[in-house]
Chains A and B, each alone.
Chain A
Amino acid sequence: MPRRRGAGAPRVCYIGAHAIEARRRPRAGAARGSLRADPPDENLCFKTEGLTKVYGSGPSAVHALRGVDLAIPERELVVLLGASGSGKSTLLNILGGLDRPTSGRLLFRGQDLTNASQRELTLYRRRHVGFVFQFYNLMPSLTARENVALVTEIADDPIPPEEALALVGLEHRLDHFPSQLSGGEQQRVAIARAIAKRPSVLLCDEPTGALDSATGVRVLEALQNVNETMHATTLLITHNASVADIAHRVITFSDGHVREERLNAVRKRPSELSW
């Protein structure tokens, strides 16, 4: 397998017939904090229109999403709340190109992803998306450093694995295997792996779900740090309503619908959360 370190390759991602300039840094002026309730389309990271997802068919069909309209601006930290089974993960997976909607439209920076092919979705994930799951999904046969290198080798402009691990406070655990790391450490390796390629979106599905509160705080700090320093649009699913206080925007799901969407006027640091 050839290694992919061609740093000089143009950062152009082909999706459908269009070429998207991979805009890692949103235009100047869209500064953090200048949030508006209804941002203009060109400043949107994601826009969905009437998104639905049905699993199965006939009487046993499950309507996981029943028409979701969202507009998520660049660089925001968005928290998704909602009861179990309300469709949060389904939405996140569709936004991340792991799954396709049944109907509706999904735009990523103005590009229509709705009918993208498998190959295009793979490229999309590879270039733009960082994932963090509840279960860390590390490669047990690779050390922390190597797990991160796995991604940096196929990224166009990655940060070195050591630096990514330092960002999540693991600079002293570089050569440990997953079996030698605690749950929180494993999760932070997963975050380092997700951010090492400088993703423009970071999608986290209950990243603290399996962790105790102190460890959870460290993980959230790492995520917030990434959102602030690397300007990645971050979507974070959680069961813990208090985590919503660290977000710019909070979206609450219920039965496949967006029940409520609000902006936090004041945000807390993760260490200030009452867990």
Chain B
Amino acid sequence: MRLFSLPRWLAPLDRKLLRDLFAMRGQALAIAFVIAGGVSVHLVAAGLLSSLEETRRAYYERYRFADLWAPLVRAPNGLIDEIRRIEGVQAAETRVRVQALFDMPGMEEPATGEVFSLPDGAEPSVNQIVLLRGRLPQSGRRDEAVVLESFANAHGLDIGDTVDATIYGGRERITIVGIALSPEHVYAIAPGQLVPDDRLFGVLWMSRSALAEAVNQDGAFNEAVVRLGYGANEAAVRNALDALLEPYGAPGAYGRDEHISDAFISSEIDQLRTMGSVLPPIFLAVAAFLVNVVISRLVATERTEIGLMKAFGYTDAAVVAHYLKAVGIIGVVGLAIGATLGIRLGQLLASVYTEYYRFPLFVFQPNARGLVVVTAITAVAVGGGAAFAVRRAATIAPAEAMRPPPPPDYSKALGARVTSLPFLDQQTRMILRQIVRFPLRAAFTSIGVAVSGALLIGTLFALDAIEEMIDVYFNVANRYDVQVSFVEPRSRSAYFELLSAPGVLGGEPYRAVPVKLRHRHLEEQMRLMGVPVDSRLARMIDVEGRPVELRPGGIVLSQDIAEKLAVTTGETLTVAVTEGRRPVLDVPVAAVAMTYIGSGAYMPIDDVNALLREGPVVSGANLLVDSARTNALYAELKAQPAVAGVVLQRAAQRNFTDLMDQNLGMAIWVYTIFAGLIAIGVVYNSVRISFSERQRELASLRVLGFSRREVSYILLGEIAFLTLLALPIGGLLGTGLAWSLSRAMSSELFRVPFVIDPPTYGYAALVVIVVTAVSGLLVRRQLDRMELVAVLKSAD
């Protein structure tokens, strides 16, 4: 075929090279696409990773994001000097920070959020905000605030608009004077939520003096934020801070790893790193294998040409270079496709990111180092794959090469017994003999196909896992519809009042208290939840998915906390309350539970009340709500000054499910395409090579009167057999991949359960089978067009 004429200056060998490549363009492209798959995944992951890390670093640096947060009850402003004197503290700020409930026009549900103070007449030296529009609130003005951009956009708020908020029990009408972003709210999410809901989470910044006055913190603060000096010891600073602030009701400082927004970014970064390091090697290993197979075949078919070239005086090195050039071209094409695809995909994903991660500016920067690295790795993989094949070209002796090769010897193949079984027909026997004669090739083909299926299972399992997480979290563990928290702990009667609110079908009280759990030298800071012993609405679940029964006198821990503290069921740990009179108690661990999302420590509410030496006091309540009457309840909650926060479980679940639905289709497509690339690369090349090697046999069969169907059986039966063999192998590999990815993707925030639903296996098998069938049919078309006479006439 002559689609283009080659320029005259091209050396004859190079012309041959280009014609060879053109003749095997299908196979060459299949390999190039597998390479492109690996390259693009790496570039997307590396690019997003470095973009995200670099953007975050620059943002935090420029706006002086804190390293430590030290919440407390109330401390005098003068303490700031002592905080600044702690060794390792580079800058420190005090501020007032309170929860708030927003009553937004046109929205039935109450929105929750926080209000932060901004220093009067000065920029804070820690945790600055990015004022996008408008101005800062004037000092002392209780009716002015800057609002978080995402909340403003979700409600169409603009400068001059007003917002009604319940702040620390007091109702305020606030005018928006500015719109801002903040490094503390890159991933703007309410506590207890998993997916941001811009409508339901608001943040305001008010003048320090005005906010202090509103929440009874005149001349005082309730949170210190600290930036560390270069090389400072974070733990030491934290200990010094805790020691200094403990008298003021501080439960203990926490770092960025427990800062919700930053923890989400870190978790994303970890996942990108995992993806970027697990997937590309799979692609490139497959590409190396394919290069080996295809170039081996090319060298075998061109034996005579190689002999001639050598006879004409070309050196071995020239011959080797000739074939390496072919491989090089495939590699470069793969790289080019992969780079283009990777950058496009990266930009696409970056724009998805900006919906969830609010940076002042986030653009996808293709990672130059990533490109260099992936180019080098591709070169090594593809070159390595080619090396073995090309070495054969070097060792061919000219005289020997010019004789036609003897028929391949099947007499010494393994498994002669099996393939000689009398009930086999001859065609099936040919298939089996081909496999046992070239077992390595058959194994690689099977494994290649298996890898493609495994890739699908190993990635799409995440959807099953997330479904399981949602189901367990919302439908088994936390079955309440609404969680209400009070501004301050209140008596049981406040809980009963809530029960009689409109629409409430039932409920359970809870008492939450900040604690430090200690076991030996290990310590974890967290919130201890006291719930009724027979709680039905807020439960912990064990590994078998059954609710863990609370027992008086014992604490139930989530597995991650138990692991961090190195305690097991039956051992005793120390519960040190970091609030009020700070009681300390040794408590046996009653059970260790599984939690997919977040961590937890549960005790019976009566035990918590007893521990705190208080009466039947509650921090809030979990409520079951009549879904037809939610609006009435919401109206009631918005009007209650005692209510500090409201968690709407149904909205949270809906947001999670929406997010899944949005990204589900895309994820399935992307991974199906990637897995398909591998399967096509392996199957098409395998069948195509088999076809060219056995063309003569197949033509002979046609001459003997076998129909096209019967002849394709021999060609396609082999790959069908190897694909069937690949299915269980792929299932196993995929299960392993899913297991290790579930490990790798689990973080502080959530643990990915190792769950694979049967349909995921089915889907993977289906994709593999369809791809095999399509690749087979492509070659079958060539088989149908085969010129019998021409094939048989050639001496080869």
Residues of A that sit less than 8 Å from B by CB:
1-3, 89, 93, 96, 98-99, 118-119, 122-127, 129, 131, 133, 135, 137-142, 146-147, 149-151, 153-154, 176-180, 193
In the complex, A1 Cα to B429 Cα: how many Å?
A: 11
The 27 listed contacts between A and B (C-beta, < 8 Å) are A1-B425, A1-B717, A93-B789, A98-B788, A98-B789, A99-B788, A122-B706, A122-B707, A126-B705, A126-B706, A131-B703, A137-B696, A137-B700, A137-B792, A140-B408, A140-B409, A140-B697, A142-B433, A147-B426, A150-B427, A150-B704, A151-B705, A153-B425, A154-B705, A176-B411, A177-B410, A179-B411
Determine whether B565 belongs to the interface, using a CB cutoff of 8 Å to chain A: no
Q: Given A124, A150, A180, which contacts B411 in the complex, CB threshold below 8 Å?
A: A180
A140: chain B residues within 8 A (beta carbon): 407-410, 697
Which residues of chain B are near A153, meaning CB under 8 Å? 425-426
**Contact status A142-B426, CB under 8 Å:** yes
Q: Which residues of A contact B708 (CB under 8 A)?
A: 118, 122
What is the CB-to-nearest-CB distance from A68 to chain B, in angstroms, rounded to a whole number? 17
- B704 to A193, Cβ gap below 8 A? yes
CB distance from B782 to the nearest CB of A (A): 16
**A123 contact set on B, CB distance < 8 A:** 705
The CA of A98 and the CA of B700, in the complex, are separated in Å by 11
Contacts of B703 in A (CB 8 A): 96, 98, 125, 131, 137
Whether A141 and B696, one on each chain, are in contact in the complex, defined by CB atoms closer than 8 angstroms, is no
Name the B residues within 8 Å of A89 (CB-CB).
789, 793
Assuming A139-B697, A142-B433, A154-B710, what are 13 further A-B pairs, CB within 8 angstroms?
A: A2-B425, A89-B793, A135-B795, A137-B792, A139-B426, A140-B409, A141-B408, A142-B410, A151-B704, A151-B705, A179-B411, A180-B409, A193-B704
* Chain A residues whose C-beta falls within 8 Å of the C-beta of B717 in the assembled complex: 1
B: residues with CB less than 8 A from A are: 406-411, 425-430, 433-434, 437, 696-697, 699-708, 710, 713, 717, 788-789, 792-793, 795
Q: Are A141 and B430 in contact (CB under 8 A)?
A: yes
Contacts of A135 in B (CB 8 A): 792, 795
Are B409 and A177 interface neighbours, CB within 8 A? Answer: yes
Give every chain A residue within 8 A of B704 (Cβ-Cβ): 125-126, 131, 150-151, 193
Please name the 4 residue pairs, one residue from A and one from B, whose CB atoms are nearest each other, closest first.
A126-B705, A141-B433, A179-B409, A137-B700
Asked if A178 contacts B407 (CB within 8 A), the reply is yes
Determine if A133 and B792 form an interchain contact, defined as CB atoms under 8 angstroms apart: yes
In whole Å, how far is B151's beta carbon from the nearest beta carbon of chain A? 69
**Cβ A142 vs Cβ B430 within 8 A:** yes
Query: Closest A-chain residue to B784, C-beta based?
Result: A118
- A1 with B710, Cβ < 8 A, contacts A125-B705, A133-B792, A137-B696 known: yes
Are the C-beta atoms of A179 and B408 separated by less than 8 Å?
yes
The answer on a CB contact under 8 Å between B788 and A1 is: no
Chain B contacts of A151 at CB under 8 A? 704-705
Q: Is the CB of A179 within 8 A of B700?
A: no
Minimum Cβ distance to chain B for residue A124 (Å): 8
For A98, what are the chain B residues with a Cβ–Cβ distance below 8 Å?
703, 788-789
**A149/B426 contact (C-beta < 8 A), A123-B705, A141-B433, A180-B411 known:** yes
* Residues of chain B within 8 A of A96, CB atoms compared: 703
Q: How far is the CB of A147 from chain B (nearest CB, A)?
A: 8
Contacts of B706 in A (CB 8 A): 122, 126, 154
Q: Tell me, in angstroms, the Cα distance from A139 to B431 when the chains sit together.
A: 11
What is the CB-to-nearest-CB distance from B37 to chain A, in angstroms, rounded to a whole number?
Answer: 34
Q: B710 — nearest CB in chain A belongs to which residue?
A: A1
Question: Could you tell me the distance between the alpha carbons of A254 and B701 in the complex, rounded to whole angstroms?
Answer: 31
Cβ–Cβ < 8 Å partners of B433 in chain A: 141-142
Contact (Cβ within 8 A) B406 A122:
no
Q: Bound state CA distance, A122 and B406, in angstroms?
A: 30
CA distance A263 to B789 in the complex (A): 30
Give the chain A neighbours of B788 by CB distance below 8 A: 98-99
Query: How far in angstroms is the closest Cβ of chain B from A178?
Result: 5
Chain A residue, CB-CB nearest to B437? A141
Contact between chains at B425 and A139 (CB < 8 Å): no
The interface residues of chain B lying within 8 Å CB-to-CB of A3 are 425
> When the two chains form the complex, which single residue of B408, B700, B713 contacts A1, counting CB atoms closer than 8 Å?
B713
Q: Are A129 and B425 in contact (CB under 8 A)?
A: no
Closest to A94 in B: B789
| Contacts known (A133-B792, A146-B429, A177-B410); A139 close to B700, Cβ less than 8 A | yes
Separation of A153 and B428 alpha carbons in the complex (Å): 12
